[in-house]
Amino acid sequence: MSHSYKQIFENNKQWIEKKLGEDSNFFDKLAEGQSPEYLYIGCSDSRATAEELMGLKPGEVFVHRNIANVVNTLDMSSTAVIEYAVSHLKVKHIIVCGHYGCGGVKAAMTPQDLGLLNPWLRNIRDVYRLHKEELDAIQDEKARYNRLIELNVQEQCINVVKMACVQERYIQEHYPIVHGWVFDLKTGKLIDLEIDFEKILNDIQKIYDLTNTKWGMGKSQNKNLK
């Protein structure tokens, strides 16, 4: 083992000691089960950790991470995570979180053959295609790059809303609510893109409605869903 690899186990010992010092029953409680309120779908980038930047503890957030925080309904990994979080863990909030400086989004903007990454990055290139007019109007390359990162988060939120488990449970329980965030690596701030979840659901209902209950049934129902 290299020195840095061994250090991880030393760090683990120190972490255990710290947790037991704070609460002698910490690991007994941890082993009892989980009931997180949040599902966090983020990028695999090593700089954009979930629990740490959110200030949450073990057991408080269910996490899925992949390159450029993509939610592709043909990807069994992300869809299985969402299904489990929504239908079994009963999370109240689903957060899609991108970050400025995302290498995956930057790679998608680059016209080169990236091998196995090509079909994955095509999801982001599709986002560019959908918003080409807006993005091409941005002269500054960095600003255009940052805007694509934000639009990618927005489109992945829409992909989450398309899922039947999300639609069905929201109509029945008014949860989960989908949010779009961006993490700014330079400042450490989480930026809420203020995704209008209900408007998205209303807009896509006629096409992606996978339930027997119609979203826009009337003013009385809409009031109850606020």
Q: What would the two tokens of residue 8 be?
A: 């991880």
Per the annotation, the verdict on 45 as an active-site residue is yes
Q: In this structure, what are the phi and psi dihedrals at residue 102, rounded to the nearest 5 degrees?
A: -70, 120
Average pLDDT, the chain: 90
Q: How many CA atoms lie within 13 A of 203 on its CB side?
A: 8
- Convert the pLDDT of each residue in 66-113 to its tens digit: 999 999 988 999 999 999 999 999 999 999 999 999 999 999 888 888
Q: Is residue 178 within 8 Å of 166, Cβ to Cβ?
A: yes
Catalytic residue chosen out of the listed positions 64, 65, 88, 102: 102
Per the annotation, the verdict on 47 as an active-site residue is yes
- Residue type, position 83, single letter: E
Query: Whole-model pTM?
Result: 0.89
| Letter string b/e over residues 152-189, b meaning 16 or more CB atoms within 10 A of that residue's CB | bbbbbbbbbbbbebbbbbbbeeeebebbbbbbeeeeee
Per the annotation, the verdict on 157 as an active-site residue is no
What is the residue extent of each domain of the chain? 7-36, 37-224
Per the annotation, the verdict on 102 as an active-site residue is yes
Q: Is the pLDDT of residue 205 over 80?
A: no
Catalytic residue chosen out of the listed positions 23, 47, 129, 174: 47
User: Candidates 3.20.20.140, 3.40.1050.10, 3.40.50.2000, 3.40.50.20; correct CATH number of 37-224?
Assistant: 3.40.1050.10
Farthest-apart Cα atoms in the chain, separation:
65
Pairwise CA distance, residues 72 & 62, whole Å: 18
Catalytic residue chosen out of the listed positions 43, 97, 157, 165: 43
Q: Is the pLDDT of residue 218 over 80?
A: no
* Helical H segments across the chain, by residue range: 3-22, 26-31, 50-54, 76-87, 103-108, 117-130, 132-136, 141-161, 164-173, 197-208, 219-224
Q: In this structure, what are the phi and psi dihedrals at residue 100, rounded to the nearest 5 degrees?
A: -65, 145
Q: Is residue 105 within 8 Å of 66, Cβ to Cβ?
A: no
- Convert the pLDDT of each residue in 165-191 to its tens digit: 999 999 999 999 999 999 999 999 999
Q: In this structure, what are the phi and psi dihedrals at residue 118, rounded to the nearest 5 degrees?
A: -55, -55
Q: Is the pLDDT of residue 222 over 90?
A: no
Q: Is residue 99 within 8 Å of 188, Cβ to Cβ?
A: no
Per the annotation, the verdict on 192 as an active-site residue is no
